[in-house]
Amino acid sequence: METIQEKEQITAMPRIGDEAPKFQAVTTQGNINFPDDYAGKWVILFSHPADFTPVCTSEFITFAHLEEKFDNANCKLVGLSIDGLYSHIAWLRTIREKIEFNGMKNVEVKFPLIEDITMEVAKKYGMIQPNESKTQAVRAVFFIDPSGIVRAIIYYPLSLGRNFDEIYRALIAMQTADEFDVATPADWYPGDDVIVSPAGSCGVAEERMTTTDDLDCKDWFFCTKKLDKNTVLDKILKK
């Protein structure tokens, strides 16, 4: 029976704003030293429950199909499961040679898939959720910025495949917030209005409500402004 200390170790996870836990690992693309090998780039580190499972297969095909799109946004993909390297290799080969999903076929997974038989990495990142499974990693997604800081975390249960449009949207939204010092509202996509930080003083609040500049203020605390789609993408995406 697990002790309280053992259970806490398994379910511990980094928080938003923390440094991404460091590790060295064997992957399908060679050894990596994480996150140091990715300094200066965004990284999406994601886990899946097991190789040769249908939901995971659909996700890997989708991620591999979108890898260039993420790369153009200065973002690298790194996958993980607690299966071994040879299982990973056999599974990815099967994906390339036999599996078709949503019109995607002959898909080669080129991003690294981490071998984590000991569950060392999965435990560091809180990917093992005992009430879901003690032997499989849930579908965790960690967004790690170019400075190695955890910026966002999304968790899915074993039965639920991820929404890759939302993963990409979240990446671009965070990059936009950093680049233009703004926030992004609900359902934001490049080209939509962005949110300006709330006024920090009464004087600024009054000025915002009476000025005719480029702000659209519904009230002193809720101001938006236009941010052209091409302006956003020109700053964020590779030329």
CA angle, residues 224, 228, 229, in degrees to nearest 5: 120
Neighbours of 163 (CB within 10 A): 13
Answer yes or no: 56 catalytic.
yes
Rounded to an integer, what distance in angstroms lies between the CA atom of residue 113 and that of residue 126? 18
* CA triple 196-205-191, angle to 5 deg: 20
Residues 6+ apart with CB under 8 A from 124: 12, 14, 21, 23
Classified as helix, coil or strand, 216 is: strand
Q: Bridge partners of 32?
A: 25
Radius of gyration of the chain (CA): 21
Determine the angle formed by the axes of helices 54-71 and 164-180, rounding to 10 degrees.
Answer: 30
- In the three-class reduction of DSSP (H, G, I as helix; E, B as strand; rest coil), residue 164 is classed as helix
Residue of 56, 75, 217, 223 with catalytic role: 56
139 annotated to a ligand binding site = yes
The annotation places the binding site for substrate at 139
The annotation places the binding site at 139
The residues annotated with a catalytic role in the active site are: 56
